[in-house]
Amino acid sequence: MAMLELKDVTISYKNVPAVQNVNLSLEEGEICSIVGESGSGKTTVIRAVLGLLAGGGKVTKGDILFDGETLLTRSGEEWRKLRGTKISMIFQDSGAMMNPTRKIGDCFVEYIRTHENISKKDAWEKGVKMLENMRLPNGDNVMRSYPFQLSGGMRQRVGIAMGMTYQPKLLLADEPTSALDVTTQAQIIRQFMELREEYGTSIIMVTHNLGVAAYMSDYIVVMKDGIIEDEGTRDYILKGTRKEYTKTLLDAVPSLGGVRYV
């Protein structure tokens, strides 16, 4: 049984379908990327999985199953238990999600204490450990910092550390590296891959960059105008596809000194 299954899912905003007839299944430890141009429905799909659709979005057809059980009829309370523990989401710019007037440590401690009944001191130590796992040296210092005192790459690592605190079985990441420089982007991508190695985490990663998708994914889904235009294993997408649209995306992958990133 797949860990996550989207069955013929249609998602609408105010009854206007934005994403239609999506089928997708993800096994434990599998990494899947969703690529496609702006407005193709990538964010809509992963937000639907986490029950966090904005703008009155609703799943109007089909079903989304996690460990064989539907996610669509969960109560608010059930979602609170699931989010952060079994399923986590990392946003494009974790920094923008952070309260600029509060230190990282205050937010992290509060986050941990909504999930676990432990002392502030223990929550602090747990936070420091998670930050250091994400290769943020001197976690104590990071905890004592305001978001603006950290670089964009550091803030994103903080966001990932928070998202990984409870070793979710499924990590949903929406363009988690696109605001970062290429070096930081590569480091963070490698960290995602390590999470899979260490914890068997399954990952769905939304990205504009087919090069990034090709580098890290087992399976790639190409979306266009709200439908799945093409999909398959990495090898199929890179070498076997017959879809003109996918080939156009491949041609747009940046190259450096004549060497392509894929």
The site for ligand ATP (CB under 6 A) is made up of 13, 18, 36, 38-44, 54-55
- Find the binder of Mg ion among 40, 43, 185, 209 (CB under 5 A): 43
Q: Do residues 253 and 261 lie in contact, with contact meaning Cβ atoms separated by under 8 Å?
A: yes
CB 32 within 8 A of CB 201: no
List beta partners, residue 232.
Answer: 220
Give the contacts of 33 (CB within 8 A, at least 6 positions apart).
204, 205, 206, 207, 212, 213, 216, 217, 219, 220, 221
The string of DSSP letters for 214-231 reads HHH-SEEEEEETTEEEEE
94 binds, among Mg ion, ligand ATP, none (CB under 5 to 8 A by kind): none
Nearer to Mg ion, 9 or 128 (CB): 9
Within its chain, how far is the Cα of 46 from the centroid? 8
Residue 258: which region, alpha, beta or left (left: phi > 0; alpha: psi -120 to 50)? left
Q: At closest approach, how far in Å is the CB of 15 from Mg ion?
A: 21
Q: Which is nearer to ligand ATP, 178 or 184 (CB)?
A: 178
Question: What is the smallest separation between the CB atom of 12 and Mg ion, expressed in angstroms?
Answer: 17
The one of Mg ion, ligand ATP, none whose footprint includes residue 55, by CB under 5 to 8 A per kind, is: ligand ATP
Q: Residue 43 corresponds to which tokens in the numbers above?
A: 């964010």
Taking the complex as a whole, the smallest distance from the CB of residue 216 to Mg ion amounts, in Å, to 18
Of the two residues 54 and 256, which places its CB atom closer to ligand ATP in the complex?
54
Cβ count near 12 (within 10 Å): 18
> What's the closest the beta carbon of residue 41 comes to Mg ion, in angstroms?
8
Least Cβ distance, residue 43 to Mg ion (angstroms)? 3
Number of residues in contact with Mg ion, rule: CB under 5 A? 1
Pick the closer one to ligand ATP by CB: 115 or 243. Answer: 243
Q: Which residues bind Mg ion (CB under 5 A)?
A: 43
